[in-house]
Amino acid sequence: MNVLVIGRGGREHALAWKLRQDGHDVFVAPGNLNMDGVTCVPIEETDVTALVRFAETEDIDWTIVGPESALMAGVVDAFNASGRRIFGPTKAAALLEGSKAFAKEIMREANIPTADYETFTEAEAALAYIESIGAPLVVKADGLAAGKGVTVALSLDEARAAIHDIFTTDKFGDQSRVVIEEFLDGEEFSLMAFVSGEHVIPMITSQDHKRAFDGDKGPNTGGMGAYSPMPHLEEAVYVESVERVLVPLARAMVERGTPFEGFLYAGLILTENGPKVIEFNARFGDPETEVILPNLASPLLDVIEAVVAKRPYAIEWLDGYTIGVVVAAAGYPERATTGQVLSDFERLPKDVLVFHAGTTRDGSHIIGNGGRLFVITSTKPTLLEAKTAVYAGLEMLDLPQTFYRRDIGGRALARIF
């Protein structure tokens, strides 16, 4: 089939890689010049009209959406109107990610476990509220902020500063609402699923590492590395997460008249009282995609076609584990250095994969062009072997003005040994 992937990051590179493994011809809009074996199409993710026109003229059989920006631009609505097959939520359903207040409301309605919260449109009311509940608490800008609009405030001073930033600076973009949330304590994990209406096909678990530096220090980022599945997560917790979170959410979206179709992402935290939702994303996670797809044995479009047709499907996963480490530009997430020459990729052995994100190409050189540059992954029978292969691969590369975490997968490995 001819398949179009919308986006340009590591997630889209992993989707394109999987689709190529499955034997398809893959186009990526706009893609990245370092994605090999695919045709890059110079159309922006949000240029909905041009994307539909391209799919029609090139006779694209399936389109898969990566980033939330394309969803919020209404790409799925436009494809649906033109009768072209696309896998992703409509703009109305993508609000699950686009607005934290909407997500909270639907969780309250569907009785899905999450942190207690209040929403405010004025700084004074938010400030009065935090005085009444005390620290620790979490302050979230309502709206897309690339995972950076969240402050886990251990003191009231930190919380006050975050509220000030949201209402009076444009640090988090144009924000007019804030969600104040109860602080949840526990281990975080991600659970994603293929969803269409009430039909849910869950994937294996994964765990992202959101802080910039080793030992979960430093600022929150879009994600510095991940592994999948989580060996130490009990089956009962997995089942509870599917039954108490994913299934009721899918049902609630149908009942609201905004059925969800696409990759659904639940960011969860395992508290003393069971798993609770931190956030939903209306798309595949990044870098979670890069560590989940190498373990997916079933052809991707088979799963998608089954879920869309509401057919039961016995999804198959490899037995092993995948670890992915993000290499980021020095200065990320505040001010990423760009223009560095990244080299020696040809030295990498076959058992590691590289998924490009914020890189570009100049002749034969790979050049840094963003915050998170690429993800390097390995899939092995054990987590330890996968971790060893990834870090051995990293040692072979010449990566000036970059950094990466050295403890990806460490939490799971500490539990096993």
**Where does this chain bind ligand GLY (CB under 6 A)?**
147, 208, 223, 281, 285-286, 288
Q: Indicate whether 279 belongs to the interface with ligand AMP (CB under 6 A).
A: yes
Q: Which residue type sits at 341?
A: V
Triad 303, 372, 362: Cα angle to 5°: 100
Q: Which of 188, 198, 305, 351 binds ligand AMP (CB under 6 A)?
A: 188
Residue 30, classified by CB atoms within 10 Å of its CB into exposed (0-12), middle (13-18) or buried (19+), is: middle
Q: Indicate whether 130 belongs to the interface with ligand AMP (CB under 6 A).
A: no
Q: Indicate whether 278 belongs to the interface with ligand AMP (CB under 6 A).
A: yes
Q: Indicate whether 266 belongs to the interface with ligand AMP (CB under 6 A).
A: no
Q: Indicate whether 162 belongs to the interface with ligand AMP (CB under 6 A).
A: no
Residue 223's binding partner, choosing from ligand GLY, ligand AMP, none, with beta-carbon cut-off 5 to 8 A by kind?
Answer: ligand GLY
Nearer to ligand GLY, 285 or 368 (CB): 285
Q: Indicate whether 104 belongs to the interface with ligand AMP (CB under 6 A).
A: no
Q: Which of 122, 176, 183, 239 binds ligand AMP (CB under 6 A)?
A: 183
271-283 core/surface letters (b: 16 or more CB in 10 A; e: else): eeeebbbbbbbbb
Interacting stretch for ligand AMP, rule CB under 6 A, among 51-59, 181-189, 372-380, 408-416?
181-189
Helix axes 300-308, 10-21, angle to 10 degrees: 100
User: By the 8 A CB rule, do 82 and 51 touch?
Assistant: no
d(CA 36, CA 86): 23
Torsion of CA 340, 13, 350, 336, to 10 degrees: 20
d(CA 151, CA 149): 7
Q: Which of 13, 209, 210, 283 binds ligand AMP (CB under 6 A)?
A: 210
Residue 181's binding partner, choosing from ligand AMP, ligand GLY, none, with beta-carbon cut-off 5 to 8 A by kind?
Answer: ligand AMP
3-state secondary structure of 250: helix
Give me the least distance between CB of 278 and ligand AMP, in Å please. 5
Cβ neighbours of 236 (radius 10 Å): 9
Residue 188's binding partner, choosing from ligand AMP, ligand GLY, none, with beta-carbon cut-off 5 to 8 A by kind?
Answer: ligand AMP
d(CA 177, CA 75): 26
Longest dimension (CA), the chain: 59
User: By the 8 A CB rule, do 222 and 171 touch?
Assistant: no
Nearer to ligand AMP, 184 or 249 (CB): 184
3-state secondary structure of 404: coil
Q: Indicate whether 231 belongs to the interface with ligand AMP (CB under 6 A).
A: no
Nearer to ligand GLY, 52 or 296 (CB): 296
Q: Indicate whether 267 belongs to the interface with ligand AMP (CB under 6 A).
A: yes
Give me the least distance between CB of 1 and ligand GLY, in Å please. 26
Structure tokens at 330: 């020095």
Q: Indicate whether 150 belongs to the interface with ligand AMP (CB under 6 A).
A: yes
Footprint on this chain of ligand AMP (rule: CB under 6 A): 115, 138, 140, 147, 150, 152, 181-184, 188, 210, 220, 267, 278-279
